Amino acid sequence: MTHQVQYRNVLDRGAMATALLLLATLVTGCAVGPDFQRPPAPNVAGYTPTPLPKVTASSEAIGGAQQRFVADIDIPGQWWALFHSKALNALIEEGLTNNHDIKAAQAALRVARENVKAQIASGYPSITGGVNVTREKDATGSVASSEVNGAALYSLYTGQLSVSYVPDLFGLNRRTVESLAAQADSQRFQVEATYLTLSSNIVAAAIQEASLRGQIKATRAIIASQQNSLDLLHKMDALGEVSDVDVAAQEATLAQTKATLAPLEKQLMQQRDLLAALVGRFPSDQPSATFSLKDLVLPTEVPVSLPSKLVDQRPDVRAAEENMHAASAQIGVAIANRLPNLTLTANAGRTATQLSQIFMPGNGYWIAASALTQPIFDAGVLFHRQQGAEAAYDQALEQYRSTLITAFQNVADALVALQHDADALNSSVAAERAAARSLELVKGQQRLGAVNYLALLSAEQTYQQASINLVQAQAARYADTAALFQALGGGWWNRSDVALNTQAHDAGRQ
C-alpha cells in the first residue's frame, strides 16, 4: 500500500526546495538498444560491366550532338535548365509551386517535424495548476471536520500546483525521439523525391510532346507526298498510262497513312492534358507553351557520379536509410519498455474555507512522491514486441538494399541507353536520308515508266517508317539524358530552396 503524508501546516521552505530540486534534476541514464550506424557505400567501381566510352557517337541532325561522360562534375539544382528552353523552365517552376503532390508531401513533413518536437517536450517536467471550489456537508455526530472546527456545512477553496517528471532512465524517450526524427528525415527525402519525380515527369512529358509533334509533322508530309502521287496517277489513268489497280493501290496506301495520324494526335492531346495536370492545372486550362525538338538543346556534358556518391545523392536511398534508422531506434524503445520506470510527482498548494483566507499562514500544504514500476509478468507481450521491432529492422534493411540496387540499375540503364541512343540516331539519320533519296529516284523513274508502281509504294512505305524512326531516335536522346539526371538524384542538394526542406533534426540526433 502506498502511503503519502500530507502536511497541513505552514509550508516548510527548506523541505519544498529539496523536493523541487529532486524534481528538476535530470536523471542521466543509458539509452538501451543499438546505436545506428550508416551502411557503408557498396564496394563497386562502376555501373556497367565494361568501362563506358568517353564520348558518344554524333550525327548531323537535331539532338545529334556528341555527348561526353564526365565523372567529376556536379549536378546543378535546376538540371532541366541545361536543355536551354525558357518555356520548359517556366513550366517546371509553375509545377514546383502549384503541384498538389508536392504540397501534400510538404504538409506530411511538417507533421513529422511537429511530432518530433512534441516528443522532445514530453521529456521535460510537466507542470499544471488548478483551482477547486467545493461546497460540502459532512455527517454530524461523532464525525467532525477538522478544517472547519466541527461545522457540518462549509465551503472549501483549494489552489494547487502539480509537477510530474519521468526520468529517462534507460533512454525510452530518447530512442522515441530518435525514431521520430529519423521518420521526419525520411519524409524530408520523400519531399525531395517528389520534387525530382515531378521535374523529371514534366521534362519527359515535354520531350514526348515534341516527339509527337515531330511524328505528326513527318506523317503529314508523307500524306502530302502520297496525295501528290495519287493526283499524278489519276492524270495518268485518264490518259490510259496506268491501270485502275495502280490507282486503287495508291489510294489504299494513302488511307493507311492517314489512319496513323489520328492516334498520334490523340496521344498529343493526352500529353497536353498530362502537362496541365503536372503543373496543377485542369485539362481545360492547358499551358500556352508548346514544345518541339528543335527548341531543345541536348546537354553535351553528362555527369557520371561516383558509385560512393550515389548513396548520398538518391533521395529514395536516403529515405530508405532513415527508415532503417527509425526501425533501429524502435528496438531501443522496445527494450526500454521492459525495464524499470521511475515517476516523480509533487503537489503544492493552499486550502481554506474562505477565499480571503487562502493565503493566511497555516493553509499551505505539499506532497512529494515517487513510484518505481517494473513489468513482472505480461505473458511475453513486451518480449514479442521487441522481437517484432528487431524483425522490422531486418525488413527495413532489406528494403534499403533493394532500393540501392534499383538505384544503380537506373543509372546503368540510362548510361547504356545514352550510348546506344547515339548509335541508333546515327543509323536513323542515314536510313532516313537513304529512304528519301530512294523515293525521289523511284518517283523520277516511275514518271518515265522505267519502274512499275509497286516499287513506288515500297519506297513510300520505307520513307514513312524511316521518318518516324528518326523523330523517335531524336527524342530518345533527350529523354534518356533527362532519365540519367533523375537516376543520379537530380542535384537537389544544389537547389536554392533546399535549405527549407533539409533542416536536420539536431535535437533528435543528440
Pairing of strands 153-165, 126-137: antiparallel
In angstroms, the first-to-last Cα distance of the chain is: 39
Neighbour count for residue 88 (Cβ, 10 Å): 22
440-467: average pLDDT = 81
On average, the pLDDT of the chain sits at 87
Q: What is the pLDDT of residue 250?
A: 85
The proportion of the chain whose per-residue pLDDT surpasses 70, expressed as a percent, equals 88
Band of the pLDDT at 146, cuts 50, 70, 90?
low
Q: What is the pLDDT of residue 79?
A: 95
Band of the pLDDT at 119, cuts 50, 70, 90?
very high
Tell me which of 3.40.50.300, 1.20.1600.10, 3.40.630.40, 3.30.200.20 is the CATH number of domain 31-123+166-339+374-490: 1.20.1600.10
| Residues contacting 103, CB < 8 A, separation 6+ | none
pLDDT of residue 21 exceeding 90, the answer is no
97-120: average pLDDT = 95
State how far the Cα of 350 lies from the Cα of 365, in Å rounded to an integer. 6
Which one, of 19, 74, 64, lies nearest residue 347 by Cα?
A: 19
Q: What is the pLDDT of residue 282?
A: 95
Least confident of 19-33, 150-164, 217-231: 19-33
- Three-state DSSP class for 347? strand
Q: What is the pLDDT of residue 145?
A: 53
Q: What is the pLDDT of residue 502?
A: 45
What is residue 76's DSSP assignment? P
Q: DSSP labels for 117-168?
A: HHHHHTTS-EEEEEEEEEEEE---SS---GGGTT-SEEEEEEEEEEEEE---
Question: Which has more confidence, 505 or 450?
Answer: 450
Question: Which has more confidence, 452 or 37?
Answer: 37
Per residue in 328-344, pLDDT (tens digit) is: 999 999 999 999 999 99
Map out the domains of the chain as residue ranges: 31-123+166-339+374-490
What is residue 55's DSSP assignment? B
* pTM of the predicted protein model: 0.84
Q: What is the pLDDT of residue 97?
A: 93
Q: Which residue has the cell 555527348?
A: 67
Q: What is the pLDDT of residue 141?
A: 54
Least confident of 139-148, 149-158, 202-211, 334-343: 139-148
| Residues contacting 412, CB < 8 A, separation 6+ | 47, 48
Q: What is the pLDDT of residue 346?
A: 94
CA distances from 200 to 95, 230, 279, 348, 482 (A): 11, 44, 12, 62, 7
- Three-state DSSP class for 185? helix
Most distant pair of Cα atoms in the chain: their distance: 137
Question: Which has more confidence, 143 or 45?
Answer: 45
Q: Cβ distance 436 to 183 under 8 Å?
A: no
Question: For the chain, what's the residue count?
Answer: 510
Band of the pLDDT at 289, cuts 50, 70, 90?
very high
Q: What is the pLDDT of residue 302?
A: 92
Per residue in 374-419, pLDDT (tens digit) is: 999 999 999 999 999 999 999 999 999 999 999 999 999 999 999 9
Per residue in 71-104, pLDDT (tens digit) is: 878 999 999 999 999 999 999 999 999 999 999 9
Least confident of 46-55, 221-230, 237-246: 237-246
State how far the Cα of 444 lies from the Cα of 44, in Å rounded to an integer. 59
Band of the pLDDT at 156, cuts 50, 70, 90?
confident
Q: What is the pLDDT of residue 226?
A: 86
Least confident of 189-203, 233-247, 309-323: 233-247
Cell, residue 51: 568501362
pLDDT of residue 106 exceeding 60, the answer is yes
Q: What is the pLDDT of residue 6?
A: 37
Q: Cβ distance 167 to 29 under 8 Å?
A: yes
CA distances from 365 to 233, 361, 453 (A): 114, 11, 113
Neighbour count for residue 357 (Cβ, 10 Å): 13
Q: What is the pLDDT of residue 497?
A: 62
